[in-house]
Chain A
Amino acid sequence: MFSKQHPIPRVIIYFILLLWTAAVVYPLIWTGLSSLKNNQQFMLDKPWSLPNLPLLWTNYSYVWTKYGFGTFFKNSIIVTAASIVISIFLASTSAYILGRFTFKLNKPLYNLYLSSMMIPMILGLIPLFFLLNDLGLINSLTGLIIAYSANVLPFGIFILVSFFKTLPKELEEAAYMDGAGYTRTFFSVMLPLAKSGLVSVAIMNGLTVWNEYIMGTVFTNKAAMYTLPVGMAVMQTEMQYRTEWGPLFAGLFLSIIPILILYIIFQRQIAEGVVAGAIK
């Protein structure tokens, strides 16, 4: 059985891999199938039975209109997009300085950003709530955008500093020779060169913000301001009591599908982003 070349028989390797594939994929398929059932089918049929015809597509229109899923989507898109732009801008400018200029405060500043990534976000959660409250930014998308941009900022700086460090000096010098100032050199020469790093950071930060729950739930309490995860969490509590299971699964499926499609498109960049974050 145990051949010299393969200590674990191939069959067992494939079996484990396929088992895990099922463990990952089946819950998603189950969600999709359940989203088209009515309560009678939930109570009487087996959980894995196929939904009866006609399929209950109304579950989807129900969560979309009645529970304002459309609003959650819109909020999530706005908050994610704005947080990406702001955090990329703030991270790339500072990372460029930290990565390519030597000055006294360089190292302490870098270490400050780096060590802040180790500190649990929840420790600052309560004061941040009161700070946003004082600024009138509770229950506002602006408040969320600020909180999220600050939250993902150190990660962006961390990745981009190492990225800017690897870029060749010559291009920068050539730009100065051509009479470009610092600012122009950054925007028209260095920033375009860092494009793949920027994309990685944007994707990783986008994922973090899109999926974030705890700040979202603390900083908003009006349905009109909920992001997708917050709306989903609130919705499931209500649906549980009303036994609206079909719509609940429709909501889950709606939350999964867009991100899954984006994942399929950006799979390579996401993997690169993951790896970039781990290599110091």
Chain B
Amino acid sequence: MSPRLKRTGFIALFSLPTFLFFCFFTLYPILKGVQYSFYDWSGRSQKMDFIGFDNFKELLSDPIIWTAIGNDYFLVVGKVIGIMLLATFFALSVTRLKVKGKSIFRAIFFIPNVISVVVIGVLFRYIYNPNLGFINSFLSLFTENPVQIQWLGSEKLAMWSLLWPSIWAGIGFYMILLIAAILSIPAELYEAAELDGATQNQQFWKLSLPLIWEQIKVSALHITMTTLNGSFIIVWIMTEGGPDNSTQVMGSYLYQMGFRQFHMGYAAAIGVLILILSLITTMALQKLLHRNTIELA
């Protein structure tokens, strides 16, 4: 065998199994999902009717999907702001601000990230439980009458109640990323800043923040994408989209339409909508957060 053929053979031998596996179990389902969105199909029968864009038209006039989109973006905005502020503060605290016990704080803050979303969801369901949970009992310590707030049962509060565990569960991951970004800033830069008499405050705004901005941007994009693509799990576990569809997000609505009400075509259309919105949003955010990143030579 010629060396050239040998090389090509090796490339094929090592690439093809992965590629075929990927095509079969990732690429094919995605393309098929796009195709289903153009059909009227229950998923339980052979009967599939091509209906063009009808699913999408129906989607646009479905009030629940608009609530769902609104809730998705509520979670995106809430999580990006909440997580980035806290994670940046924590990352700075355990690096630049030199607090004692920094490795302990670091280790503890990451714990929620290793716990399954299901466990977090169930746990917070009971933390919020008006009778068993400790939130209402704790608040009752400061009031005359026992507090009876329906954290997940009231349409006004439910989304806020879902936001908190989502932030709680996400902080550690982004804190670790920001810590790495801060630690990669050469110490000499801070020494020089100190010599020039820059205060901690100035050091943060003029030095740390510009140099970790790239990481903040990447993190915000990552939060946006994972929220639009995956926030429905915590929603599904905690409220199943209720009360009265008020906490429905696109993913949970897709799940309900497809696997509870058997409108597979319609559910697939929601899937396509999620894809489109998540691509548009990440692109828009990339533009929005664009700021000349300072590259360290």
User: When A13-B99, A96-B14, A118-B279 are in contact, do A150 and B22 touch as well, CB less than 8 Å?
Assistant: yes
Cβ-defined contact, A94 with B18, below 8 A: yes
| Segment of B26-34, B76-84, B149-157, B284-292 in the binding face | B26-34
B116 at the interface (CB under 8 A from A): yes
Q: Nearest-CB distance from A120 to chain B (Å)?
A: 4
- The answer, yes or no, to whether A101 is at the interface (CB within 8 Å) is yes
Which residues of B sit under 8 angstroms from A8, Cβ to Cβ? 97
User: Are A90 and B90 in contact (CB-based, < 8 A)?
Assistant: no
Q: Are A229 and B119 neighbours in the complex by a CB distance under 8 Å?
A: yes
Highest count of chain A CB atoms <10 Å: which of B26, B33, B89, B271: B26
Interface residues in B74-112 (C-beta closer than 8 Å to A): 86, 89-90, 93, 97, 99, 105, 107-112
Fill in one digit per residue for B20-48: 1 if any A CB lies within 8 Å of its CB, else 0: 01101111111011101000000100000
| CB of B209 within 8 Å of the partner chain | no
Q: Are A260 and B111 in contact (CB under 8 A)?
A: yes
Among A189-228, those with CB < 8 Å from B are 207, 210-211, 213-214, 218, 228
**Alpha-carbon distance A103/B14, docked complex (angstroms):** 13
A224 to B2, CA, bound (A): 53
Q: How many A-B residue pairs have CB under 8 A?
A: 248
Residues of A within 8 A of B237 (CB): 213, 233
Partner of A146, one of B25, B28, B177: B25
Q: Mostly helix, strand, loop or mixed at chain A's interface?
A: helix
Residues of B within 8 A of A62 (CB): none
Interface segment, B49-57, B59-67, B130-138, B185-193?
A: B130-138
Q: Which of A17, A112, A214, A229 is the one whose CB lies under 8 Å from B90?
A: A17
Question: Is A90 a contact partner of B111 (Cβ separation < 8 A)?
Answer: no
- Whether A213 contacts B177 by the Cβ 8 Å rule is no
Answer yes or no: B215 CB below 8 A from chain A CBs.
Answer: yes
Complex Cα gap A96–B134 (Å): 52
- Could you say which of A21, A113, A126, A260 has the most chain B C-beta atoms within 10 Å of its C-beta? A126
Q: Tell me, yes or no, whether B168 is within 8 Å of chain A by CB.
A: yes
B17 to nearest A CB, angstroms?
Answer: 6
Q: Which of B97, B122, B219 contacts A252 (CB 8 A)?
A: B122
Of A50-58, A63-71, A166-174, A269-277, the one touching chain B: A269-277
Partner of B7, one of A93, A123, A182: A182
Assuming the A-B contacts A94-B19, A124-B30, A275-B176, are A255 and B119 also in contact, with contact meaning beta carbons closer than 8 angstroms in the complex? yes
| Inter-chain contacts of B99 with A (CB < 8 A) | 10, 13-14, 17
Q: A47-B137, A275-B177 are in contact. Are A255 and B11 (CB under 8 A)?
A: no
Task: Please tell me the size bucket of the interface on A.
Answer: 35 or more
A127 within 8 A of B: yes
Q: Would A97 and B116 count as touching, CB distance under 8 A?
A: no
Nearest-Cβ distance from residue B13 to partner chain A, whole angstroms: 8
Contacts of A275 in B (CB 8 A): 176-177, 180
B84 to chain A, nearest CB (A): 14
Asked whether any CB of chain B lies closer than 8 Å to the CB of A119, the reply is yes
| Nearest B residue (CB) for A131 | B29
Chain B residues within CB distance 8 Å of chain A: 6-8, 10-11, 13-15, 17-19, 21-22, 24-30, 32-34, 36, 43, 86, 89-90, 93, 97, 99, 105, 107-112, 114-119, 122-127, 131-134, 137-138, 168, 171, 173, 176-177, 180, 199-201, 204, 215, 218-219, 222, 225, 228-230, 232-233, 237, 251, 254-255, 258-259, 264, 267-268, 271-272, 274-275, 278-279, 282
5 closest A-B pairs by CB: A124-B29, A127-B32, A150-B25, A123-B271, A211-B116
| Sample (24) of A-B pairs whose CB atoms are under 8 Å apart | A5-B199, A5-B200, A10-B99, A21-B109, A23-B168, A31-B123, A48-B134, A90-B21, A93-B14, A94-B19, A120-B251, A125-B271, A131-B28, A131-B32, A153-B21, A211-B114, A211-B115, A229-B119, A233-B237, A252-B123, A256-B115, A267-B107, A271-B110, A275-B180
Task: A24-B108, A47-B132 are known; give 20 further A-B pairs, CB within 8 A.
Answer: A6-B200, A8-B97, A20-B86, A20-B90, A23-B168, A27-B127, A30-B127, A42-B132, A93-B14, A94-B18, A120-B271, A123-B274, A127-B32, A131-B24, A153-B18, A207-B114, A245-B126, A252-B123, A275-B177, A278-B218
